[in-house]
């Protein structure tokens, strides 16, 4: 099936220390730049009473998270980060996920912390000593589904992403999150989409005096036709929305005007979010170029296969198509310009997910806009240092800080 073809991991991927990323599956990106001092990753914590709460992974196993306690001035500040890992849009595809960490905690291993998770102040000056939670992803619908099915072999499939979200946040509240002075909900890729879906719900759990914000990395997926003029990615989203029954998490004001499918796209979601939010994305998002704009289903010619693998190999005509992709993203984000407390960092690097890697988060060769790294820009936004942080890069290849070593 079309969606299942995207599940194949590209050769050379390293599995044990990874971050599972966005939609209909891609190769996991490795946290390839470890902290200066290598430390043991936080252990997996399995949700207590998961079965009784109906908050289970696709196969019925308990969901999990990794928690590292904060210290010093950050002991009452919390970063809750939602893992990415794609979506499954058919019963058959979701059944296959139960044989991996994307659908079963039986296959999960603890992952090393880096980038925004680093406890090294020189690499993560604003969040290094916060309580950091990495919520693992095993439901296939951005922590939003609420349904149940049987596959062709009679095995039950549990689409319980919404219950997982609610139960894990409840458990974290009991472990100290309820006493937070500052709380930041974040996520990468399909976890970035989940951040947008749950942002206001997360904020509503705290007293008004608590500083609560949201931060979506590489979660701004476009409702964009592919190079053949087909809406392949929209069809994938349509399958997820209806199979997993995600309507409960969608904004009511959006549902009053549009179909659930439309309200699952970030371009509509951001119109309804009231909590201050930061959007980090590449205008030339490598995953979206490879799987939304030029999916394998479009049967791309050899030149397009080369181009989508490496933007530096695209010819002038192809670059113009990619410019069109960026133009759509910038247009969809215009609504953010009017949101005073929101932030933007839209670079022009050929990459996807930039928070969990030292190289892209804050290093000597990190992408820069306004002479700031991503970490500096997010910190300035979160702590209201200086003017508004709303940076949109010029068209590729204008930015010399878009290093070829960035994960793509």
User: What are the distances in angstroms from CA 46 to CA 67, 135, 138, 169, 319?
Assistant: 11, 10, 12, 13, 46
CA distance 77 to 115: 17
- Of 119, 101, 99, 123, whose CA–CA distance to 110 is shortest? 101
| Active-site residue, 97 included | no
Place of tokens 């998490």: 249
- Count CB atoms within 10 A of the CB of residue 43: 10
- Of 320, 130, 324, 98, whose CA–CA distance to 225 is shortest? 324
Among the listed residues 126, 285, 332, 380, the single catalytic one is 285
CA distance 66 to 133: 6
Among the listed residues 118, 352, 382, 393, the single catalytic one is 352
- C-beta separation of 261 from 326 below 8 A: no
Query: Diameter of the chain by CA atoms?
Result: 59
Among the listed residues 118, 189, 203, 286, the single catalytic one is 189
| Active-site residue, 226 included | no
CA distance 229 to 59: 36
| Active-site residue, 189 included | yes
- C-beta separation of 120 from 85 below 8 A: no
Catalytic residue annotation: 189, 285, 352
């Amino acid at each position: 099936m079309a969606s299942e073809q995207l599940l194949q991991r590209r050769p050379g991927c390293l599995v044990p220390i990874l971050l599972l990323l966005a939609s209909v599956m891609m190769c996991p990106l490795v946290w390839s730049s470890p902290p200066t001092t290598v430390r043991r990753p936080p252990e997996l914590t399995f949700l207590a009473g998961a079965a009784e709460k109906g908050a289970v992974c696709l196969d019925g196993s308990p969901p999990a998270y990794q928690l590292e306690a904060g210290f010093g001035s950050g002991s009452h500040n919390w970063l809750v980060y939602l893992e990415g890992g794609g979506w499954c849009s058919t019963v058959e595809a979701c059944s296959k996920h139960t044989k991996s960490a994307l659908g079963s905690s039986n296959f999960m291993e603890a992952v090393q912390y880096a980038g925004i998770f680093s406890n090294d102040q020189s690499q993560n000056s604003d969040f290094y000593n916060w309580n950091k939670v990495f919520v693992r992803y095993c439901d296939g619908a951005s922590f939003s589904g609420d349904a149940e099915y049987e596959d062709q072999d009679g095995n039950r499939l549990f689409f319980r992403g919404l219950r997982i979200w609610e139960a894990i946040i409840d458990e974290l509240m009991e472990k100290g999150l309820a006493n937070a002075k500052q709380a930041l909900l974040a996520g990468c890729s399909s976890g970035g989409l989940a951040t947008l879906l749950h942002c206001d719900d997360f904020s509503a759990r705290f007293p008004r005096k608590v500083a609560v914000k949201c931060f979506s990395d590489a979660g701004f997926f476009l409702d964009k036709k592919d190079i053949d003029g087909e809406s392949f990615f929209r069809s994938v989203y349509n399958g997820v929305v209806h199979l997993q029954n995600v309507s409960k998490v969608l904004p009511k004001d959006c549902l009053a005007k549009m179909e659930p499918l439309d309200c699952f796209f970030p371009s509509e979601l951001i119109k309804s979010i009231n909590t201050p939010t930061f959007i980090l994305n590449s205008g030339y998002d490598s995953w979206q170029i490879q799987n939304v704009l030029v999916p394998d289903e479009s049967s791309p010619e050899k030149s397009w296969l080369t181009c989508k693998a490496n933007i530096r190999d695209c010819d002038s005509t192809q670059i113009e198509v990619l410019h069109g992709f960026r133009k759509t993203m910038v247009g969809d984000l215009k609504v953010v310009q009017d949101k005073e407390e929101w932030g933007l960092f839209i670079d022009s690097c050929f990459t996807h997910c930039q928070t969990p890697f030292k190289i892209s988060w804050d290093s000597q060769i990190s992408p820069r806009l306004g002479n700031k790294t991503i970490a500096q820009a997010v910190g300035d936004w979160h702590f209201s240092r200086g003017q508004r942080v709303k940076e949109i890069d010029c068209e590729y290849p204008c930015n010399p800080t878009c290093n070829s070593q960035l994960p793509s």
